[in-house]
A and B are shown apart, each in its own frame.
Chain A
Amino acid sequence: MTEIRMRVNGVVHSLDVEPWVSLLDALRERLGLTGPKKGCDQGACGACTVLADGVRINACLALAVQYADKEITTIEGLAQGGELHPVQQAFIRHDGFQCGYCTSGQICSAVAMLAEHAAGMPSVVSGSAARAELTDAEIRERMSGNLCRCGAYNGILDAIREVATP
Chain B
Amino acid sequence: MRPFDYVKPADVAAAVRAVATAPGAKFIGGGTNLVDLMREGIETPDTVVDLGGLPLDGVEELPDGGLRIGALVRNSALAADQRVRGRYPMLSQAILSGASAQLRNMATVGGNLLQRTRCPYFYDQAAACNKRAPGSGCDALDGFNRGHAVLGVSEQCIATHPSDMCVALAALDAVVEVESVRGTRRIPVADLHRLPGATPDVEFELAADQLITAVELPPVPVAANSRYRKVRDRASYAFALVSVAAALEVRDGAVTAARLALGGVAAKPWRAREAERLLVGGPASEESFGRAADAELAAATVRPGNAFKVALARATIVATLRDLTHGGSTA
A interface residues with partner B (beta carbon < 8 Å): 2, 18-20, 22, 41-43, 46, 49, 55-58, 60-63, 65-66, 109, 112-113, 116, 120-129, 140-142, 144-146
* A113 proximity list for chain B (CB < 8 A): 101
* B103 proximity list for chain A (CB < 8 A): 43, 58, 61, 145
Docked complex: B148-171 residues within 8 A CB-CB of A: none
Are the CB atoms of A49 and B39 closer together than 8 Å?
no
Are the CB atoms of A128 and B92 closer together than 8 Å?
yes
C-alpha gap A113/B101 in the complex (Å): 8
Are the CB atoms of B100 and A144 closer together than 8 Å?
yes
Q: How many A-B residue pairs have CB under 8 A?
A: 115
Q: Can you spell out 26 A-B residue pairs with CB atoms less than 8 angstroms apart?
A: A18-B3, A19-B48, A20-B2, A43-B32, A46-B100, A57-B102, A57-B105, A58-B100, A58-B106, A61-B30, A61-B31, A61-B32, A61-B36, A63-B28, A66-B50, A109-B101, A124-B236, A126-B330, A126-B331, A127-B227, A128-B92, A128-B330, A141-B236, A144-B101, A145-B103, A145-B237
Are the CB atoms of A19 and B89 closer together than 8 Å?
no
* B237 proximity list for chain A (CB < 8 A): 144-145
* B96 proximity list for chain A (CB < 8 A): 122-124
B interface residues with partner A (beta carbon < 8 Å): 1-6, 8, 28, 30-32, 35-36, 38-39, 48, 50, 52, 76, 79-80, 85-86, 89, 92-93, 96-97, 99-103, 105-106, 227, 235-237, 329-331
Instruction: Give B236's nearest chain A residue, CB to CB.
Output: A144
Q: Which 5 A-B residue pairs are closest in the complex by CB-CB distance?
A: A145-B100, A19-B6, A127-B330, A127-B331, A144-B236
Most buried by B among A113, A123, A127: A127
C-alpha gap A61/B80 in the complex (Å): 23
Are the CB atoms of A145 and B101 closer together than 8 Å?
yes
* A43 proximity list for chain B (CB < 8 A): 32, 36, 102-103
